[in-house]
Amino acid sequence: MRIRRLLFLLITVSIALILTGCFGSDEQSQQEEMDPPPPNAEAVDGNTGDTSSVQTDEPSTVERELYLLDSNGLVVPQTLEIPMPESKEVATQALEYLVKDGPITELLPNGFGAVLPAETEILGLDLQEDGTMIVDVSEDFASYQPEDELKILESMTWTLTQFDGVERVELWMNGHEVKAMPVNGTPVANGYSRANGINVVHSDTVDLINSKAVTMYFPTEHDDNQYFVPVTQHVENNNGDELQAVVERLIEGPGYATNVMHIFNQGTLLVDKPNLEDGVLELVFNENVLIDMENQVISDEVMESLVRTLTEQESIEAVNVRVENVDQIANESGEVYNEPVTTETLNPSEKL
């Protein structure tokens, strides 16, 4: 009798232990499901963890407009993706990407080249309250050819003045102010700005005293790659309206020495004086400005040339192009221009 009670007690205890283990295992599993381990815990804390799954919101590259030399020796803007700088010295980085055989080498588009002499070092930049950016370079900077002197000044100036607050560039070399360029002697004591022009076209037939230097944009191509070249020309104001004179000079074209395209149809005319109101310049042309009168299409190159050129002028933020006797015009993709066009909305693949 006593033996039976002992066996019964042992059996009861064994069953209890088995049930406890089962329920405990289920409870532990449920707890693990409720509280999973932190994501990427090994990648963050362990030296051998797979860090490829760690996410970051910071981009690794940034788009920057750099002024390079094209195959015709013209200084032109090219937008390239370059590494995001580790510090805030974005202007210094931009200049470093203008140096021959420097970090830009692997990024150069076909037919383009850097302009600053190889091994040039950017020793420091200092932005003054009046908008002057002092650029201190090493002595290697002075190793350029005489014919490249203005191109170097234009490339540096137009690259740096894209940044807010930079109006002009003043050059120093090895900590000493440069009052004249070291090879061809171009005066730079008062700094160099966009007002000095870029790819300047000289003409013996223009009255320089009674004219204004205007930078205009014309398209050109290299290996089916189309881009716009800034060209500075002097415009005479013979009709009393400065903006009309600029548009009419743009229609005439850049001349033959610049290797860029003449894009306006013969007979294209302004039928009214340009009207500037609240930053929007309205232009009214005759029908000759269209490349397809039946479908009322204006050339993408014409629109981009007009917008890029005119928004360089003071107080103009956008251009509204109209055509006489036409209700609305469209780009070459058939998309209607129903708003004034800015440099940000020039892409013909995006509906305005």
Does 56 fall in a domain?
no
| Domain extent for 162 | 61-196
- When pLDDT is cut at 50, 70 and 90, the band that residue 256 belongs to is low
Does 262 fall in a domain?
yes
Percent of the chain residues topping a pLDDT of 90: 68
Provide the residue count of the chain: 352
Q: Are residues 67 and 190 both part of a single domain?
A: yes
- When pLDDT is cut at 50, 70 and 90, the band that residue 1 belongs to is very low
Query: For the segment 148-192, what is each residue's pLDDT rounded down to a tens digit?
Result: 999 999 999 999 999 999 999 999 999 999 999 999 999 999 999
> Tell me, what's the pLDDT at 204?
67
- When pLDDT is cut at 50, 70 and 90, the band that residue 25 belongs to is very low
Distance, in Å, from the CA atom of 352 to the CA atom of 346, rounded to the nearest integer, reads 9
Does 7 fall in a domain?
no
Does 77 fall in a domain?
yes
Give Cα separations from 67 to 109, 172, 285 (angstroms): 12, 20, 33
Does 8 fall in a domain?
no
Q: CA torsion sign, 242 to 130 to 161 to 63?
A: negative
Q: Are residues 252 and 228 both part of a single domain?
A: yes
Low-confidence winner among 15-24, 197-206, 238-247 (lowest mean pLDDT): 15-24
Q: Are residues 178 and 225 both part of a single domain?
A: no
Q: CA torsion sign, 297 to 301 to 306 to 311?
A: positive
pLDDT of 326 above 60: yes
Does 20 fall in a domain?
no
Q: Are residues 181 and 99 both part of a single domain?
A: yes
Q: Are residues 71 and 116 both part of a single domain?
A: yes
Q: Are residues 312 and 243 both part of a single domain?
A: yes
The domain tally of the chain equals 2
- When pLDDT is cut at 50, 70 and 90, the band that residue 202 belongs to is confident
Amino acid residing at 272:
D
Task: Please say whether the beta carbons of 93 and 117 come within 8 A.
Answer: no
Q: Are residues 238 and 307 both part of a single domain?
A: yes
Last residue of a domain, one of 140, 164, 196: 196
Query: For the segment 28-74, what is each residue's pLDDT rounded down to a tens digit?
Result: 444 443 333 333 333 222 333 333 334 456 678 889 999 999 999 99
pTM: 0.78
Q: Are residues 216 and 184 both part of a single domain?
A: no
Task: Please say whether the beta carbons of 138 and 171 come within 8 A.
Answer: no
> Tell me, what's the pLDDT at 107?
94
The tokens of 335 are what? 């998309």
* Arithmetic mean of pLDDT, 260-264: 92
- When pLDDT is cut at 50, 70 and 90, the band that residue 24 belongs to is very low
Distance, in Å, from the CA atom of 35 to the CA atom of 48, rounded to the nearest integer, reads 24
Does 41 fall in a domain?
no
Q: Are residues 222 and 280 both part of a single domain?
A: yes
Last residue of a domain, one of 146, 165, 196: 196
Q: Are residues 153 and 233 both part of a single domain?
A: no
Of the candidates 154, 59, 163, 64, the one whose C-alpha atom is nearest the C-alpha of residue 116 is 154
Does 68 fall in a domain?
yes
Q: Are residues 341 and 217 both part of a single domain?
A: yes
Task: Please say whether the beta carbons of 283 and 320 come within 8 A.
Answer: yes
Q: Are residues 76 and 163 both part of a single domain?
A: yes
Cα 94 to chain centroid distance, Å, stands at 11
Last residue of a domain, one of 170, 196, 222: 196
